[in-house]
Amino acid sequence: MPHLWRTSVLAIACLLATDSAHAGDVTVAVAANFAGPMARIAEGFTAATGHTVKTSAGPTGKFYSQILQGAPFEVLVAADDETPKKLIAEGHAVAGSSFTYAIGVLVLWSARPGVVDDQGAVLASGRFNKLAVANPKLAPYGAAALQVIQARGLGDAITPKLVTGESIAQTYQFVFTGNADLGFVALSQVVVPGKPVTGSFWRVPSSLHSEIRQDAVLLKAGASNPAAKALLAYLQSPAAKAVIQSHGYGG
């Protein structure tokens, strides 16, 4: 093990061990695509430290607006890297506290087997009525979905068929319930550890859209909360990284 990595792991372990003697709680705003992994990470974090995690899941853009309006979130686990940067620049988050915890993977998904092929050719076939995407103004996965549609030269053909969800979670529900035949969602929503994959999907090549770098950041409301700092440390631990990778994220 390289010396720097060994030192980092030991530093995280020491921080978690120190904070376990003073258990508290931390309020977290988490991107909708990461709600499932965050629930598992929170369980491990509580077991390791005694701290409890109170989470709210939703679109990153909406959380940004709420934080500007004084929402008492202490940590933001975002679906992009731009929102944490803006919050730091605008004085709402702690400088130097942000880091990339995962690289998001976009998929085109149908709840029905055999509908989506492994090249995404169904997009150009026209053999669907509705295509769900997350609101690109609020959700980075939605912005990436529109980039894929444009990269395939299908904007004019597909735009009339688009159904927009407020978040990637609502987008998933549109497809799951059959209100949309297809949808661009996160791989982490489709590939869940211990559960069979439902339907059919195409893993979108990263070359077709901007990289979905997902960053976490300590917000000013949590700057003096040891539990908030401990959670960010735990999110970088081997245990948390194992959960993140098991849900299909890169990074």
Can you tell me the mean pLDDT for 78-104? 97
* Residue 126 clears pLDDT 80, i.e. is over it: yes
How many CA atoms lie within 13 Å of 19's alpha carbon, on the beta-carbon side?
Answer: 28
d(CA 249, CA 1): 23
- Calpha distance 76→26 (Å, rounded): 11
Q: In terms of DSSP H, where are the helices of the chain?
A: 3-19, 35-49, 60-68, 82-89, 122-125, 140-151, 155-158, 168-176, 187-190, 226-235, 238-246
For the chain, helix (H) and strand (E) counts, in that order, are: 11, 10
C-alpha span between 196 and 217 (Å, rounded): 33
Which pLDDT value is given to residue 6? Answer: 40
Quote the pLDDT of residue 59: 92
Confidence band for 15, pLDDT divided at 50, 70 and 90: low
Residue 4 has pLDDT above 50, yes or no: no
Mean pLDDT of 13-29: 69
Averaged pLDDT, 117-145: 94
d(CA 94, CA 91): 7
Tell me what percent of the residues of the chain surpass a pLDDT of 70: 91
Q: Tell me the residue type at 179.
A: N
Residue 10's pLDDT is 43
pLDDT digits (tens, 9 = 90+) for 134-190: 999 989 999 999 999 999 999 999 999 999 999 999 999 999 999 999 999 999 999
pLDDT number for residue 251: 66
Q: Quote the mean pLDDT of the chain.
A: 91
Query: Which residue in the block uniquely carries the two structure tokens 């990269």?
Result: 151
Is 1's pLDDT higher than 50? Answer: no
Per-residue pLDDT at 19 = 46
Instruction: With residue 131 as reference, give the H or E element that holds it.
Output: strand 131-134
* pLDDT value of residue 197: 87
pLDDT digits (tens, 9 = 90+) for 194-234: 888 899 999 999 999 999 999 999 999 999 999 999 999 99
Q: What is the pLDDT of residue 16?
A: 53
